[in-house]
Structure 1
Amino acid sequence: MTESASRFAYVIYIRTTRDKLWRALLEPEFTRQYWAGTWQESDWKPGAPWRIVIPDGRIADSGEIVEIDPPRRLVLTWRNEFRPELREDGHSTLIYELEQQGDMVKLTLLHEIARPGAKFIEAVSQGWPAILSSLKSLLETGAPLEATRKWTVK
């Protein structure tokens, strides 16, 4: 990575299987529980459009599937659609990598954009840790974190 880009990287270990974590990252019945009631829509094939839908029906984020290798790796483009100051940053790239390690999965997330000081990357660096911690809680205990259950952004 160069100085002309912004990047957020995060690694979390979750006591689950790679298949179950993969489903939890993509399927609406999971994401609604730990990701503020939102869900994703896509055909989950390279070149397919992708979007996150807010509970009131607005589109939160959109992009395109770049690469998909279930249940190991997902790469997609990502642009915020509901906050003008973040939308201006344009498309970023999100990469999920899942690696089974005994009774847990190492989930590596990389979110980057070819723009220094991007407001979008600053924003997601505040959101991703809570979302992924809530996902971990859901998969390990059956309950997500209270703070991530409902959409609160206007």
Structure 2
Amino acid sequence: MAYDSSAEIKARVAASPEQVWFALTDAGALTAWYWPASMDPRAFSDPVAGGRFGVDAGDMGFAGEYREFDPPRRMVQSWRWTGDDRDSRVTIELTPSGDGTDIVIVHDQVDEETAEMYRAGWESCLTRLPGYLATRSAGSR
């Protein structure tokens, strides 16, 4: 099987790169937006190069290691879905854009079918991110 496919996902959110970075690296934040709350996810995150992270929602989950860490601009992670026997790679880049942040996620080192599944998964997660960011911003005032 060839692991030379990738999924690229682009999004824009009305929040600063620092706010988005926090949402991507804080364990509590990950449980608030990554999966629906009804799944009761649990997360851990040690947000430094070499640190481990993961989210577990019962029969679904993933874990990995922060390989490159350049807050709040870029991170590269290893990524392993629960039950998989090999890692893939996720690169996330955040770029300030007006009053918000452009997000580019590339999930690679996967086969074509898995790339499409990851694309759909990331797009689903990113639909919940703006709501989390708005709630967090409103709560910090």
SS in 1 for 2:65: strand
1:117-146 CA distance string (max 9 Å, x none): 3x4323212211111011023324x39xxx
Contact 1:51 1:59 (C-alpha < 8 Å) held by counterparts: no
- Choose between structure 1 and 2: higher strand proportion: 2
Work out whether 1:44 is the aligned partner of 2:47.
yes
1:15-51 CA distance string (max 9 Å, x none): 1111111111122332222222435423222222332
SS in 1 for 2:67: strand
Structure 1 residues 40 and 26: alpha-carbon distance in aligned structure 2, compared to 1, 3 A threshold: farther
2:139 maps to: none
Give the letter aligned to residue 17 of structure 1: S
SS in 2 for 1:137: helix
- Percent identical among aligned pairs is 23
Within 5 Å, which residues of 2 pair with 1:1-154?
Answer: 5-36=4-35, 37=37, 38-54=41-57, 56=58, 60-81=61-82, 84=83, 87-88=84-85, 90-113=86-109, 115-117=110-112, 119-140=113-134, 142=135
Runs of 5+ consecutive residues of structure 1 not aligned to the other structure: 144-154
Name the count of aligned residue pairs.
131
Distance 2:45 2:24 in 1: 13
Structure 1 residues 128 and 4: alpha-carbon distance in aligned structure 2, compared to 1, 3 A threshold: closer
Distance 2:50 2:27 in 1: 20
Distance 1:105 1:80 in 2: 27
Distance 2:13 2:49 in 1: 27
Distance 2:105 2:48 in 1: 19
Runs of 5+ consecutive residues of structure 2 not aligned to the other structure: 137-141
CA-based RMSD of the aligned residues comes to 2.3
Structure 1 residues 42 and 35: alpha-carbon distance in aligned structure 2, compared to 1, 3 A threshold: closer
Distance 1:78 1:72 in 2: 19
Contact 2:26 2:45 (C-alpha < 8 Å) held by counterparts: no
Distance 1:12 1:138 in 2: 15
